[in-house]
Amino acid sequence: QITLKESGPTLVKPTQTLTLSCTLSGFSISSGGEGVGWIRQAPGKALEWLALIYWDDTVRYSPSLHNRLSVTKSTSRNQVVLTMTHMEPVDTGTYYCGRLGNSWVDDWGQGILVTVSS
């Protein structure tokens, strides 16, 4: 069974850096063809893609946020880590990680609600 689970702080202060982990089960990020993406959703708003990483370390970032984002993987921990700098209240929302299919998101984590507030 494939599962993904997000973890990290649920409250960050403005200007701080957010670091979220996505722990994978049932598949390995180091296996050929695998990829994991990060998607967020502000309260009451639509889904917004942030970043993705593939088994071969290829990374892609949302053009509007690329200068604030970094995504890495740990094959030993079977995790994908998202870092987002300079957090502001508008960054409040639920952050999801997802296993990528050919060009879609096959499986989603449960999400983690991150609030940015002083």
Partner 1 sequence: YVLTQPPSVSVAPGQTARITCGGNDIGNKRVHWYQQRPGQAPILVVYEDNDRPSGIPERFSGSNFGNTATLTISRVEAGDEADFYCQVWDTDTVHGPVFGTGTRVSVL
Q: How many residues bind partner 1 (CB under 8 A)?
A: 23
Between 16 and 94, CB nearer to partner 1: 94
- The yes or no reply on residue 55 touching partner 1 (CB under 8 A) is no
CA angle 100, 103, 59 (to 5 degrees): 60
63 phi, psi to nearest 5 deg? -60, -35
5 belongs to the binding site for partner 1 (CB under 8 A): no
Per CB under 8 A, does 48 bind partner 1? yes
**Does residue 32 belong to the site contacting partner 1 (CB under 8 A)?**
no
Question: Which contiguous run of DSSP H or E holds residue 50?
Answer: strand 47-54
Say how far apart CA 72 and CA 59 lie, in whole Å: 8
Site for partner 1 contains 106 (CB under 8 A): yes
Report how far residue 107's alpha carbon sits from residue 91's, in angstroms, rounded to the nearest whole number: 23
Distance of CA 114 to the CA centre of its chain: 12
Q: Which of 52, 71, 80, 116 binds partner 1 (CB under 8 A)?
A: 52
Report if residue 60 touches partner 1, rule: CB under 8 A: yes
Out of 27, 54, 55, 108, name the contact with partner 1 by CB under 8 A.
Answer: 108
Closest CA to 115 of 96, 95, 92: 92
Select from 13, 77, 101, 117 the one that contacts partner 1 (CB under 8 A).
101
Residue 86 C-beta: closest distance to partner 1, Å: 21
